[in-house]
Amino acid sequence: MKYWYAFIGVCQREWLRFFSQRSRFAASLVRPLLWLVVFAAGFRAALGVAIMEPYATYINYEEYILPGLCAMILLFNGMQSSLSIVYDREMGSIKVLLTSPLPRSFLLLCKQIASATVSLLQVAAFLIIAACYDRPLMLEGYLMAIPALFITALMLSALGIVIASRIRQLENFAGVMNFVIFPMFFMSSALYPLWKMQEASIWLYQLCRFNPFTSGVELIRFALYQQFNLQAFIVVFSCTLIFVVLAVVGFQPDRVR
């Protein structure tokens, strides 16, 4: 029962923090909707009206970037959730949490699950609005995308915790995030196919290919079209485990100041 109470307590703290910040929820929707409505017109003209992808069907550009924009929400929320860890470190509450008799790995996992559920709520709201703007996808695709979204959110949340474990001051967090969020997002298949990147630059294509965020985007993309990308799942799952281990190592009680 103590594990259950700790899990509920950590999750409730994260949920209350999110629901008390209504501007955060609005900002999480404005950014991907802006890409979907405004920027899609320019990218569609540059990349062509239809894009052929491995799911053996022609889709318009709005449908192509939809998974990437969902992953964008997960990325920004995962990084923003880790910001609260830096703040809690300065206030001292994170040290009290990590010196509890419960394992640090369990407490950090609770933090990741809470952040992932918040991300899923934001993605669900975005998909509802996007379905009203463009033609909706199949219901089965939305259902299959839930596990893909969840494990990708866990990976990005764990990455944010790893970064937060190395940041000692709140003022340094925003600068560090700019070197993580934007390279991960733009050097991926979120906005354009990898074969387009390969035509432009081989070395940049290789960076996009080995970017774990690309695997998360592809896992979500295939799931939305009722397919399973085994390679992307293996990469996302492996990166999640690695980031979790690094987060546990980074948040040792004697290192938390």
What are the residue boundaries of the structural domains of the chain, listed by start? 2-255
pLDDT in the model for residue 95: 65
What confidence score (pLDDT) does residue 204 get? 85
SS (H, E, C) the chain: CHHHHHHHHHHHHHHHHHHCCHHHHHHHHHHHHHHHHHHHHHHHHHHCCEEEECCCEEEEHHHHHHHHHHHHHHHHHHHHHHHHHHHHHHHCHHHHHHCCCCCHHHHHHHHHHHHHHHHHHHHHHHHHHHHHHCCCCCHHHHHHHHHHHHHHHHHHHHHHHHHHHHCCCHHHHHHHHHCCHHHHHHCCCCCCCHHHHHHHCHHHHHHHHCCHHHHHHHHHHHHHCCCCCHHHHHHHHHHHHHHHHHHHHHCCHHHCC
Average pLDDT (22-41) is 76
Mean pLDDT calculated for residue range 174-183: 77
Q: What gap in Å lies between CA 229 and CA 217, rounded to an integer?
A: 11
Helix axes 2-19, 104-133, angle to 10 degrees: 40
Structure tokens at 165: 């474990």
- At 205, the pLDDT band (50, 70, 90 cuts) reads confident
The pLDDT score that the predictor gives to residue 90 is: 66
Average of pLDDT values for 111-115? 86
The percent of residues in the chain predicted with pLDDT above 90, rounded, is 19
More confident residue, 183 or 176: 183
Mean per-residue pLDDT, 85-95: 67
pLDDT at 78 (0 to 100): 84
Residue 182 has pLDDT above 80, yes or no: yes
Q: Which two tokens stand for residue 205?
A: 């294509």
Q: Is the pLDDT of residue 244 over 70?
A: yes
Residue 139's pLDDT band (cuts 50, 70, 90):
confident
Q: What is the pLDDT of residue 236?
A: 94
- pLDDT tens digits, one per residue of 219-241: 999 999 888 999 999 999 999 99
Mean pLDDT over 120-141 rounds to 84
Does the pLDDT value for residue 246 go beyond 60? Answer: yes
Write down the mean pLDDT value for the chain: 80
What pLDDT, on the 0 to 100 scale, is given for residue 91? Answer: 66
How confident is the model over 116-130, as a mean pLDDT?
A: 89
The structure tokens listed for 144 are: 């299959």
> Which span out of 26-35, 92-101, 166-175 was modeled with the highest average pLDDT?
26-35
Instruction: Return phi, psi of residue 55, to 5°.
Output: -80, 10
The top-scoring range by mean pLDDT among 7-16, 23-32, 205-214 is: 205-214
pLDDT top residue among 116 and 165: 116
Q: Is the dihedral of CA 200, 206, 69, 174 positive or negative?
A: negative
Whether the pLDDT of residue 114 is over 80: the answer is yes
pLDDT at 55 over 50: no
